[in-house]
Amino acid sequence: MIYLDHNASTPVRPEVADAMHQALTDLGANPSSPHRAGMQARAAIERAREQVAALVGARADEVVFVSGGTEGDHLAVIGAALARRDHGRIVAAAAIEHHAVHGAAELLEQFGWSHQSLPCDADGRTPVAAVHALPEGTTVVSLMFANNETGVLQPVTELAAAAHARGMLVHCDAVQGAGKVPVDAAALGVDYLVLSAHKFGGPKGTAAVIVRQGAPLAPLFRGSGHERGRRGGTENAAGIVGLGLAAEAAAREIATESVRIAGLRDAFERQVLAALPDAVVHGARVPRLPGTSQVSFPGARSDHMLMALDARGVCASAGAACHSGGVEPSAVLTAMGVSRELAICAIRFSFGRTTSADDVARAATLVPEAVAAVRQSGAVGARP
């Protein structure tokens, strides 16, 4: 198999798997217990906290460990909104945000908050003017670091400055960016930043929220004082050890790997576009994550393309939501103004640490084969 779905999840690094196995063997005690075994587990967690902080330019005491990016987004958005409920009950999020962020906003709506959506331009970037246009009473703004479908990098620093000038708190979902390109929470100027281990060689089910020193946060999980009172529940010591080690390895390799992977992506796009000149690469005119390429193949619906690619040994993802009998266009591409006919033909290829030049060369020949097969089958169009 040629695995080109690293934005969905990355293979666990061998050294991370080994460290987690050792942690499962050696760190059986509760990290909150005062005895020697508990202190050993606590020391491993605090070491990982330092490793995670170093990856994203944060302080160790700003790191809060959680179960994944979805929980991290909910903790940041809802926790910040609850902490600022006396200042207003409006939250805002970019239209291109991950479903986890929109889900947090929808939950707040059930408790009396309202939700504003920030538009994006044709390249998939949120304009600063959108922040200026938010109504009074907006207390929290969500601004993703890089889009999970197109890979387009967002002008977070400028957006955050505009939001802070209006007294708003800023949450940044950096799940797709952290560990792949340099991310500096302090330089971005955000109050909350979320990252997830399985996007850069760590285990699934382990993530972190960076909570800027002094930023208000109401905990969602209560009844205990774990994570300095910000997230109740006994810590997942083995997972956290894996997250920390993956963060350290990613930080060490970012400078060289980001260049190598960007070269692979560019070579892939050149070869595919040469064979299929009517294909459209979304977000190609602006800076993107090095390993993300979302391409629409007119006349080849994404659900059929995924089956054709899988039959040829290529793993990728659809930009559209696939259902029985049809597809719905990606909300991201819709926000960018991409036509429905083109949006339902979008496929995301994402490259990572384990991707080789040979993988890319082979995939670039198999993709046109898959497109031709789907087009010839006559399986075109959306559900009526």
Q: What is the DSSP string of 299-343?
A: TS-HHHHHHHHHHTTEE-EESSEEETTEEE--HHHHHTT--HHHH
Compute the distance between CA of residue 339 and CA of residue 356 in angstroms, rounded to an integer. Answer: 33
How many whole angstroms separate alpha carbon 15 and alpha carbon 29? 23
Q: What is the pLDDT of residues 252-276, one digit of tens each?
A: 999 999 999 999 999 999 999 999 9
CB 156 within 8 A of CB 176: no
Neighbour tally for 322: CB within 10 Å: 16
Cβ atoms within 10 Å of 26's Cβ, excluding its own:
15
The residues annotated with a catalytic role in the active site are 322
Determine how β-strand 2-3 pairs with β-strand 314-315: parallel
Task: Pick the closest to residue 208 from 179, 240, 246 (CA basis).
Answer: 240
CATH 3.90.1150.10-classified regions of the chain: 2-6+254-377
Question: Which CATH class for the 14-249 domain?
Answer: alpha beta
CB atoms within 10 A of CB 93: 25
| 3-state helix/strand/coil string of 81-121 | HHHCCCCCCEEEEECCCCHHHHHHHHHHHCCCCEEEEECCC
Residue 150 to residues 140, 346, 349, Cα–Cα distance (Å)? 25, 10, 10
pLDDT of the chain, 384 residues: tens digit per residue = 999 999 999 999 999 999 999 999 999 999 999 999 999 999 999 999 999 999 999 999 999 999 999 999 999 999 999 999 999 999 999 999 999 999 999 999 999 999 999 999 999 999 999 999 999 999 999 999 999 999 999 999 999 999 999 999 999 999 999 999 999 999 999 999 999 999 999 999 999 999 999 999 999 999 888 999 999 999 999 999 999 999 999 999 999 999 999 999 999 999 999 999 999 999 999 999 999 999 999 999 999 999 999 999 999 999 655 544 567 899 999 999 999 999 999 999 999 999 999 999 999 999 999 999 999 987 544 332
- Measured CA to CA, the distance from residue 102 to residue 115 in angstroms comes to 9
Dihedral pair phi/psi, residue 366, rounded to 5°: -80, -30
Query: For residue 300, what are its two tokens?
Result: 């080849």
Q: Which CATH architecture has domain 2-6+254-377?
A: Alpha-Beta Complex (3.90)
| Residue ranges matching CATH 3.40.640.10 in the chain | 14-249
164-207 residue pLDDT tens: 999 999 999 999 999 999 999 999 999 999 999 999 999 999 99
What is the model's pTM? 0.95
